[in-house]
Every structure is written in C-alpha cells, then in structure tokens.
Amino acid sequence: MITELTETNFDSEVLGVGDTVLVDFASGTCAPCRAIVPVLEQLSEEYDGEVKIGKVDVGVFPLLGARFGVEMLPTLLFFKQGNVVDKLIGIQSKTKIQNILEEIG
C-alpha cells in the first residue's frame, strides 16, 4: 500500500520511523510520474512490512518538494532512520529501485 503523504503527516510517517521509507515526489499532471506508479505498487506489495512507500503530490504540497530540494519529477528519495540516504530522478526500472532498497536494507 502506498501512503499518501501530506505536510501534516510527513514527519511522523517518514522522519519519525526507523525503517526504510521510499518517497515518490510526483504530480498527477506529470506523465512520467504516472508511469512509475505501477512499479511502486508492485514494490509496496513485495516489500510489505519491510519498506514503507509513500507519495507526495507536489502540486498540492509544494513546500514538501521545496523542503527536500526536489527540482524534477518524479524524484524518489530513500530515507533510513529519518535521513535521506539515496535519490533517483526520472522514470526508473524496478530493478534499479530494488537494488537501492537492498543496499540500504
């Protein structure tokens, strides 16, 4: 399940957890952003209980994008214990995302 993240719940859902969290900074009007959604949905099922996957709509919550220096969409930020540990920009393969998730454990 992909968690919808907002300015209200971001800190508690992402920064306040010790687990690995993958956050997709995207917009509903962005075609590449929509294209990566099926990959993220598959990963959320495969990593259920291990990795939390969240999504920020920067069209609705632009301050969250600005807070983390998101300049291009989609941007995937990988958090571990509340800190950004890796970043991918643009459409990515499932394998590339999985490799990072495995690497950061």
pTM passes above 0.85 = yes
Mean pLDDT of the chain, nearest integer: 96
Structural domain harbouring 46: 2-96
Total tally of structural domains belonging to the chain: 1
Tell me: pLDDT of 75 over 90.
Answer: yes
Among the listed residues 2, 17, 30, 100, the single catalytic one is 30
> What's the pLDDT score for residue 17?
84
Express each pLDDT in 39-71 by its tens digit: 999 999 999 999 999 999 999 999 999 999 999
Whether 83 is covered by a domain: the verdict is yes
CB 25 within 8 A of CB 75: yes
Any idea what the CATH number is for the domain that residue 40 is in? 3.40.30.10
Whether 36 is covered by a domain: the verdict is yes
Tell me: pLDDT of 83 over 90.
Answer: yes
Whether 92 is covered by a domain: the verdict is yes
Among the listed residues 14, 33, 39, 70, the single catalytic one is 33
Instruction: Please say if 30 is a catalytic residue.
Output: yes
Strand partners, 84: 79
User: Which pairs from 69-72 meet CB under 8 Å and 24+ separation?
Assistant: 70/25
